[in-house]
Structure 1
Amino acid sequence: MSAPVWDPQQYLRHADHRTRPFLDLLARVQGEPARIADLGCGAGNVTALLARRFPEARITGYDNSPQMLERAAAYASDRLDFVLADAGTWTPGETFDLIISNALLQWVPGHMDRFPDWVGAVASGGTFAFQVPGNFEAPSHVLMRELAGSARWRERVGGVLRHGDAVASPARYLERLAALGCDVDAWETTYLHVLEGSDPVLDWVKGTGLRPVLTALAGDPAGREEFVAEYAGLLREAYPATEHGTVFPFRRIFVVARRSAAG
């Protein structure tokens, strides 16, 4: 399965809603870290929020998408830089006071196996913090997978999407990180995003979860439009528009793991 091609402009269309979980995560990070890694920095907009929150820190954003990093470059400064790196293989070459990751790890199969290397690179008293979507059993994703696995589409896109086990439960994350010597704060929240416009849930997933299908069908514009149109109809039934907008429930999982001072 090839990596999805990202569209920063599409991703940022819902930047306000997407940024809120990061701010909620960041609010639970203590201390004043001097050296920070933003793993999966994307378009750099949340990395810029890190720089604002910790004005004396030296920050590096890591991402495996050249398209996203090109957009992120606009935020670069003498204390904020961006590096091409794949989280599936990234091993820190230095010690960080904070390694933070926003809506990335669901794209990294077996990401908990990477925790020992990452926690091992966190300074004593430092923090490893992340948030991931926990909505893989929501209609938006179930319908996408069912359509991709249907007789019409399975040969072309049946194997490109993530499944319900793309992320672990908060309890499993807590257990794994506690075993690595961390004090762990883990929780989950379901946001009720009120989206505006025509087919707003489709517009949301076109920036994230639908990217593997859009990438796989990039060479067949007509087929791509056919898939999107069929999926859009299913989403309209699952998320009907109301006079107040389209309500899009979105569960997210948060973890803040602080390495003990003796660790």
Structure 2
Amino acid sequence: MTSPTWDPQQYLRHAGHRTRPFVDLLTRIDAEPARIADLGCGAGNVTALLADRWPTARITGYDNSPQMLEQAERYAGPRLDFAYADAATWTPEETYDLIVSNALLQWVPGHADRFPVWLDALTPGGVFAFQVPGNFTAPSHTILADLRESPRWRDRLRGVGDRAGAVLEPEDYLNRLTALGCAADVWETTYLQILQGEDPVLDWVKGTALRPVLTALADDPKARDAFITEYATALRAAYPAGPHGTVFPFRRIFAAARKGTAI
């Protein structure tokens, strides 16, 4: 499957809502790391939060999107840098006190199989922490999947961006991390986000779930616009606007695992 082309500006249009789960994750990390890896750093805005939280730490943000890394460079500094890495194959070449990942692993098939490699790169007592979306049965995703498989689109879009089974359930992450010798804290939260503007859920998914489709149809603007119109109509019915905006529930799954000792 072709990797989606990312649009940092579109992604950052909802930066407040997208950042909140990462901030919540950080509150559950009781550590003073000297060396940190941010796996899937994206546009760098959440990596900068790591530097704010641990100002003396040396931090590297990793991503496989040239567009995102270019945007992230604006946050680079004496203790904060960025580098290319693909999480599907990333094998750390040094040790870290904290490896953190924000809304990346759902894009990495079989990501839990990489946990042993990443945990091996942690110092004793080091922490591996991540959050992933847990909303793949929500209308925003099921409508998209149904459209891709519809007679009009299936020949061009069948399987494009399909992430059914992209993440594990919380108890599965807990079992995996515990079996690897970690003391793991795993939880979930559903955020009731209020989005503003015209077609706000469409605007949200244009930064994330819709990227594979937009990439696949990039050479056919007429088809791209037709798909977006069809998708937007269905999203309006699934997420009607209210008096204060459009409520967009979003489930997130979190884990913080300390290597070898209790959290």
**TM over 0.5, shorter chain:** yes
Cross-structure match for 1:13: 13
Q: What is the SS of the residue equivalent to 2:256?
A: strand
Q: What is the SS of the residue equivalent to 2:165?
A: helix
- CA-CA distance at 1:97 after TM superposition: 0.2
- CA-CA distance at 1:259 after TM superposition: 0.7
1:99-114 equivalences in 2 (<5 Å): 99-114=99-114
**1:52 and 1:97 mapped to 2: Cα distance?**
17
Q: How much is the aligned-residue C-alpha RMSD, in angstroms?
A: 0.9
Q: What is the SS of the residue equivalent to 2:128?
A: strand
Cross-structure match for 1:145: 145
**1:49 and 1:155 mapped to 2: Cα distance?**
43
Cα pair distance change 1:261/1:240, threshold 3 Å: closer
Letter in 2 for 1:48: A
**2:162 and 2:42 mapped to 1: Cα distance?**
19
**1:211 and 1:243 mapped to 2: Cα distance?**
29
Cross-structure match for 2:130: 130
Letter in 2 for 1:81: D
- CA-CA distance at 1:162 after TM superposition: 2.4
**1:229 and 1:53 mapped to 2: Cα distance?**
42
**1:256 and 1:20 mapped to 2: Cα distance?**
16
Quick check: 161-170 or 212-221, which moved more?
Answer: 161-170
1:44 aligns with 2:44: yes
Letter in 2 for 1:90: W
| Paired residues, number | 262
- CA-CA distance at 1:55 after TM superposition: 0.2
Where in structure 1 do 4 or more consecutive aligned residues deviate above 6 Å? none
For structure 2, the 5+ residue unaligned runs are none
**2:261 and 2:208 mapped to 1: Cα distance?**
37
Cross-structure match for 1:190: 190
Cross-structure match for 1:25: 25
**2:253 and 2:112 mapped to 1: Cα distance?**
14
**1:30 and 1:140 mapped to 2: Cα distance?**
35
Cross-structure match for 1:56: 56
1:214 aligns with 2:220: no
For structure 1, the 5+ residue unaligned runs are none
**2:139 and 2:8 mapped to 1: Cα distance?**
24
Letter in 2 for 1:144: L
1:43-122 equivalences in 2 (<5 Å): 43-122=43-122
**2:154 and 2:90 mapped to 1: Cα distance?**
32
Q: What is the SS of the residue equivalent to 1:242?
A: coil
Cross-structure match for 1:181: 181
**2:226 and 2:137 mapped to 1: Cα distance?**
24
Letter in 2 for 1:80: L
- CA-CA distance at 1:261 after TM superposition: 4.8
Letter in 1 for 2:238: A
Q: What is the SS of the residue equivalent to 1:230?
A: helix
- CA-CA distance at 1:164 after TM superposition: 2.9
Cross-structure match for 2:238: 238
**2:56 and 2:139 mapped to 1: Cα distance?**
43
1:162 aligns with 2:162: yes
Cα deviations across residues 151-186 of structure 1 (Å, max 9, x unaligned)? 110111111122330000010001001011100000
Q: What is the SS of the residue equivalent to 1:166?
A: coil
Question: With structure 2 as the length reference, what TM-score do the two structures score?
Answer: 0.98
Percentage of identical aligned residues: 70
**2:119 and 2:36 mapped to 1: Cα distance?**
13
**1:47 and 1:161 mapped to 2: Cα distance?**
26
- CA-CA distance at 1:32 after TM superposition: 0.6
Letter in 2 for 1:259: K
